[in-house]
């Protein structure tokens, strides 16, 4: 298993298409999300810009985990699609806050996989790599929107996660917004050394 992250502009077209096919398989075919920009077996939206970071976990060439990182100083999923989740709270817009989205870990090669968004070990690998990427860019906090089932996985991982919104029924799913603070609690839970983070 290997992990990596890169901006879209740093990736080859064939690698981007593999990412978008994986997202389509997970979110459209498996989880049955209604995503208007999905088509022709690819899930791509307006937030897949050249400067978007793509975090991938692969095994024997197959993608088995993924996350997308977006700066909140530019349009992002929570600010543009789910602003009602935050109610009266301020939508984050800071260079110190990035959005984590399309967070999943599903091995599509496993015939027995159920309709779930992630498993524990895959999530740990994806989140560790995403946090490392964010820390290297001076980010201190992640914000995300996800199905409520993700709350249990985050608690099991032991990261410093907290709710940013109540649960709401949106687009046919129960979702909520949450924070992940990139502090010592989160770094220790994911096995990221503070020395390595500062050196990067």
pLDDT tens, 47-103?
Answer: 999 999 999 999 988 999 999 999 999 999 999 989 999 877 789 999 999 999 999
Supply the mean pLDDT for the chain. 89
Q: Which pLDDT value is given to residue 154? A: 93
- Of the candidates 186, 180, 175, which has an alpha carbon nearest to the alpha carbon of residue 77? 175
Q: Which residue has the higher pLDDT, 130 or 166?
A: 130
Is a pLDDT exceeding 60 seen at residue 114? no
d(CA 22, CA 174): 23
CB half-sphere exposure, 78, CA atoms < 13 A: 31
Look at residue 178 in the predicted model and tell me its pLDDT: 96
Which CATH number characterizes residue 149's domain?
Answer: 3.40.630.30
C-beta of residue 61 within 8 angstroms of C-beta of residue 145: no
Give the per-residue pLDDT at 198. Answer: 47
Is 200's pLDDT higher than 50?
Answer: no
- 170: confidence class by pLDDT, cuts 50, 70, 90: confident
pTM: 0.89
Residue 38 pLDDT level (bands cut at 50, 70, 90): low
Ranges 33-42, 115-124, 184-193: which has the least confidence: 115-124
Mean pLDDT comparison of 36-45, 115-124, 179-188, highest-scoring range: 179-188
Q: How far apart are CA 153 and CA 136, in angstroms?
A: 24
Residue 142: which of 183, 174, 192, 191 has the closest Cα?
183
Q: How many domains does the chain have?
A: 1
Percent of the chain with pLDDT over 70: 89
pLDDT at residue 162, as a whole number: 96
The helix (run of H) or strand (run of E) holding residue 17 is helix 13-23
Q: How many Å apart are CA 10 and CA 95, to the nearest integer?
A: 21
- Mean per-residue pLDDT, 118-136: 90
CA end-to-end span of the chain: 22
CA nearest neighbour of 177 among 96, 48, 84, 94: 84
Domain that holds residue 189: 2-199
């Amino acid at each position: 298993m290997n992990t990596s992250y890169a901006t879209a502009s740093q990736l080859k077209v064939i690698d981007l298409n593999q990412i978008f096919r994986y997202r389509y398989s997970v979110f459209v075919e498996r989880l049955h999300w209604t995503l208007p920009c999905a088509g022709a077996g690819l899930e791509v939206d307006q937030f897949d810009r050249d400067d978007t970071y793509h975090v991938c976990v692969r095994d024997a060439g197959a993608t088995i985990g993924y996350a997308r990182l977006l700066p909140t100083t530019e349009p992002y999923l929570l600010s543009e699609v789910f602003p009602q989740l935050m109610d009266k709270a301020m939508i984050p817009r800071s260079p110190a806050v990035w959005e984590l989205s399309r967070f999943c870990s599903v091995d599509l090669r496993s015939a027995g996989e159920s309709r779930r968004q992630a498993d524990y070990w895959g999530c740990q690998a994806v989140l560790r790599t995403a946090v490392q990427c964010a820390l290297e860019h001076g980010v201190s906090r992640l914000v995300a929107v996800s199905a409520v089932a993700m709350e249990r996985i985050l608690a099991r991982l032991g990261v410093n996660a907290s709710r940013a919104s109540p649960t709401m029924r949106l687009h046919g799913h129960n979702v909520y917004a949450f924070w992940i603070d990139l502090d010592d609690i989160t770094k220790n839970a994911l096995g990221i050394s503070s020395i390595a983070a500062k050196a990067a």
